[in-house]
Amino acid sequence: MTEAIGAQGYVFAGVGLVMAFAAVRLVTTKNLVHGALYLVVTLLGAAVVFLLTLAEFVAWVQVLIYVGAVIVLILFGLMLTKAPLGPTAFDNEQRGLAALVAALIFALTSSVTWTAFEGKTIDFDTAFGVEAVGQELFTTMVLPFEVVSVLLLAALVGAVILAKRDDD
């Protein structure tokens, strides 16, 4: 069993524990800016896991888009809505019910996937790098790619119009 786990398995276990801890802190912290920083840890951990599972292009896109752009956007959102900088209680009264729902969903999805993929492994011997992804993205997947770019443009225009003041 030990040789089946390998070095990648140990790295994944460490990164996964850090990611899980940061995610839990993100939804329990009383300080909004700390929450955004815990989100950075979770997203960077996901980038490391993408690198481990031999998806290098997805990993670097994750770092660029999420850690670079999304976090800056979220921090701007926090500042523009005058987020309280000190500790504040952010939980509502549905907290117990929400924890119950989350625990049930975790129990269901993890037990189903655990039994369904018993004995399946990731072998770390075939990498699909930037070349394979680009080749596939601009041949077979070119139509979804263009549709997604139109969607991004629509979201850009929509966000500008929503956030614009009416008087100018």
Is 39 in contact with 71 (CB distance < 8 Å)? yes
Is 90 in contact with 27 (CB distance < 8 Å)? no
Shortest Å, Cβ 160 to other proteins: 8
CA distance 40 to 37: 5
Candidate list 120, 143, 167, 168; residue touching other proteins; CB under 8 A: 120
Is 58 in contact with 43 (CB distance < 8 Å)? no
Shortest Å, Cβ 152 to other proteins: 5
Site string for other proteins, 38-77 (x = CB under 8 A): -x--xx--x--xx--xxx-xx--xx--xx--xx--xx-xx
142 scored as a contact of other proteins (CB under 8 A): no
Candidate list 2, 3, 143, 163; residue touching other proteins; CB under 8 A: 163
Candidate list 2, 81, 143, 167; residue touching other proteins; CB under 8 A: 81
CA distance 83 to 67: 20
CA distance 156 to 44: 25
82 scored as a contact of other proteins (CB under 8 A): yes
Shortest Å, Cβ 52 to other proteins: 8
Q: What residues between 86 and 105 interact with other proteins by CB under 8 A?
A: 90-92, 94-95, 97-99, 101-103, 105
Shortest Å, Cβ 86 to other proteins: 14
Q: Strand, coil or helix: what is 148?
A: helix
Sign of CA dihedral 123, 128, 133, 136: negative
Q: Strand, coil or helix: what is 149?
A: helix
Q: What residues between 6 and 25 interact with other proteins by CB under 8 A?
A: 6, 8-9, 12-13, 16, 19-20, 23-24
